[in-house]
Structure 1
């Protein structure tokens, strides 16, 4: 009798934690486990701003999947479509060819992509902070603006290269603005021809508050830290138009800039739309057991699933955070195993551990288990939390070493060489054009079946 095939899509917090628990709780002969991912690492997403600022190396946040994964078959590719009736997932391998992966049970944890709007010029000129490649590219881009401004003869060009716009007052945007502003401030000392007063950072958000999840006091504290450093914060404002050398805000202001960093939220991976299933604000409508109603053997969790928040009540769903993704993964793995064994499934419930925000250097705000912290105590809790949450000891050691080295030796301002003549856009970095429609999925599977006959 053939062993059941369990297919996990996505190597983020949810997918990797799910695979790890399945490996621990299933004997080798119980099932075949496979993981689909275009990269061979789990990205520790919360620390990407520090990679962009050069505080951490890319390897520090790229946790190898080959450490501790001995039974799971890792499929190097991107899941671009799922036919739940045929129980087939279509995969575009990193070589570009399409293959079919059959399954008995599938766990959908494809994560999310940067949310964009129909704003003129945004998709062409905006830069995201969702992938390791984007963070590395953004670091090179920011340092390149300093190099070019230092060599510029035209004053207007110099001004536009030394102004930076970050859109999004959530964790990603706030930490990105904080870390990169600190980088450019320190870098200015190495450019004797640059006037430091010309370096200006703008952080804008359409919301009325900065990081409202932190509460009024901590949100205001984070805002004061950034303003004290010289970051100009504008709330209730967004982007009306983006051009190569300027950005127009919705309040009418025109900012000359060559750098637009877009972190205004996320949406579920386009893979979600290939199933033809019911969604809530673009996320798959899942049960509290993280199954999909009407779909046999399909489980969904993380950023791509609207999982009921049983503690919140009133139809609330769990927010797309790493905390929820990691904890949901344990419940999903247990429920897949329960399904294999004909046992009842368990509902997902959580206890919030709090929030941490690293603003670089000695600055941070944190709210562990409801206790509000600022400054060095918050920074100690924040970095302690991140180290504890990393899956491998190698990653923990790298992060700690990088932080100590940065504190002792300061920042460096070297461009690695990721810039190209044609600047890649959000869709290039996040491969949002790669996915099939439900009809294309069915047609592709039918054509392959016909060829095999």
Structure 2
């Protein structure tokens, strides 16, 4: 009898944790395990602002899947672009561009999220995101390039637009991104004698009435004071009305000269969710407490693309899209898959949120672990300690610690490596949001597979 095929889509916190638990708890004869991911690493997303700010190199936050697995899982190098739950087929576009098909008996959907955008003129063409390793590396190059170009120009208007940097989104990602990149430009400007440091303007804006609302009012006010002390202008209650190549128009009527718009105003579930035709909650798959998808045999969903009921809070609440929930959902989902394979009842997911930690660079931080409010260096120490413990391998822990020490003792470097030099890389380019199939296209692919038509050299 053939072994059941378990297909895990996505190598984020949820997907990798699920695979690791399946590898540990299942015997080789119980199931085949495959993981669909375009990259051979798990991205430690919370430290991306430090990559953009030059504190950490990209490889420090890219944890090798080959190191962290037990070599039983087959890695499919590509992205899932559609799922046919009736035929139990996942359509995958490999990194070569060819389309292949993976049959499954059980599938775990953990494709994560993409940057949430709105119908704002010019936004998707001008904004830079902070969701991928390539975006962080590109953004660092781009910011340093603006300093170089401003230094080479004698045009006051060009200098003003190149030296104003706007970050939209006052949550975790936007606040850390603004502080780490402001720290980078503050250190770099000393190397540009032709530029007045006062010309550099960092601006954080958010439509909400306070920054870091996840931390509560008191720590939010502390964060606001840190930002303003660091010279970052904060505008609340406003957003972008129109984005152009050299300026921004805000909803309060102001027009800002600006050639760097960083968009971190929330996330949206992966477009893969829409290919199933299942019920959703704010775009996330509406799963049962045991993380199975009602009405879809053999389908589980976890992480940012799943609205997992929060049984601790109750009243219809769903789990927030945080790393700690994704990790624990991955473990719990793997346990339920094993129970299903062994004919045991599934168990609901339940986890109490342990709080949030925020590292703002230098000696600044605000954290709220298990309800305890911390500020300054103690908050930063807790944040960095948590990140090191959460890293997947000893090699990744050593890389992060070593680079923190190197940056603290040797300072910053401002080398622009020329990543995608001369190309205005957009959110679509980095996050592949146009790659997904419609439900009709998925059914066509399933029909081809049923007729015995190959989808490429790696088709199954």
CA RMSD of aligned residues (A): 0.9
What does residue 30 of structure 2 align with? 30
Between the two proteins, the alignment pairs up a number of residues equal to 453
Q: Corresponding residue for 1:179?
A: 180
* DSSP 3-state at the match of 2:47: helix
Residue of structure 1 in register with 2:248 after alignment: 247
After TM superposition, the structure 1 stretch with the greater mean CA deviation from structure 2, 365-374 or 103-112, is 365-374
Helix, strand or coil at the partner of 1:251:
coil
Match of 1:17 in 2: 17
Give yes or no for the alignment of 1:214 onto 2:215: yes
Instruction: Write the distance in 1 (CA, Å) between the matches of 2:295 and 2:363.
Output: 51
Query: For 1:11 and 1:211, how far apart are their aligned partners in 2?
Result: 27
Shift of 1:126: 0.3
Q: Secondary structure at the match of 2:100?
A: strand
Deviation for aligned residue 1:451:
4.7
Q: Deviations over 1:23-67 (max 9, x none)?
A: 000011110000000000000000000000010000000000001
- Given that 2:68 and 2:392 are in contact with CA atoms closer than 8 Å, whether structure 1 keeps it comes out as no
CA distance in 2, matches of 1:452, 1:426: 34
Alignment of 1:161-240 (within 5 A): 161-240=162-241
The alpha carbon displacement at 1:449 in A equals 2.8
Does residue 113 of structure 1 match 2:99? no
Partners in 1 of 2:68 and 2:403 — Cα distance? 24
8 Å CA contact 1:149–1:157 kept in 2: the answer is yes
Which residue of structure 2 lines up, in the alignment, with residue 326 of structure 1? 327
Report 1:24-423 matches (<5 A).
24-69=24-69, 70-423=71-424
Contact persistence 1:127–1:138 (CA under 8 A): yes
* CA apart distance, 1:388: 0.2
Instruction: Give the C-alpha shift of residue 312 in structure 1.
Output: 1.0
User: Aligned residue for 2:457?
Assistant: none
C-alpha distance in 1 between matches for 2:265 and 2:68: 35
Is the partner of 1:66 in helix, strand or coil? helix
8 Å contact 1:141–1:419 — kept in the other structure? no
Deviation for aligned residue 1:452: 3.5
After superposition, the C-alpha distances for 1:189-219 in whole angstroms (9 at most, x for unaligned) are: 1111110001010000001111111011111
Shift of 1:153: 1.2
**SS across alignment from 2:358:** strand
CA distance in 2, matches of 1:250, 1:17: 42
User: What is the alpha-carbon distance in structure 2 between the residues aligned to residue 331 and residue 438 of structure 1?
Assistant: 30
Cα deviation digits, residues 323-371 of structure 1 (max 9, x gap): 1100111110000001101101010110222110010111111111111
Give the TM-score of the pair, scaled to structure 2.
0.98
Q: Distance in 2 between the 1:87 and 1:45 partners?
A: 31
Q: Is the contact between residue 166 and residue 202 of structure 1 (CA under 8 Å) also seen in structure 2?
A: yes
Instruction: Return the TM-score normalized by structure 1.
Output: 0.99
SS of corresponding position for 1:79:
strand
Evaluate the alpha carbon distance shift between residue 118 and residue 449 of structure 1 in structure 2; reply closer, same or farther with a 3 A threshold. same
Unpaired runs of 5+ residues, structure 1, are: none
* Residues 249 and 256, structure 2, Cα contact 8 Å, conserved in 1: yes
Q: Which runs of 5+ in 2 are unaligned?
A: 455-460
CA contact (8 A) 2:167 2:263 kept: yes
Off by >3 Å, runs of 4+ in structure 1: none
**Alpha-carbon shift at residue 417 of structure 1 (Å):** 1.0
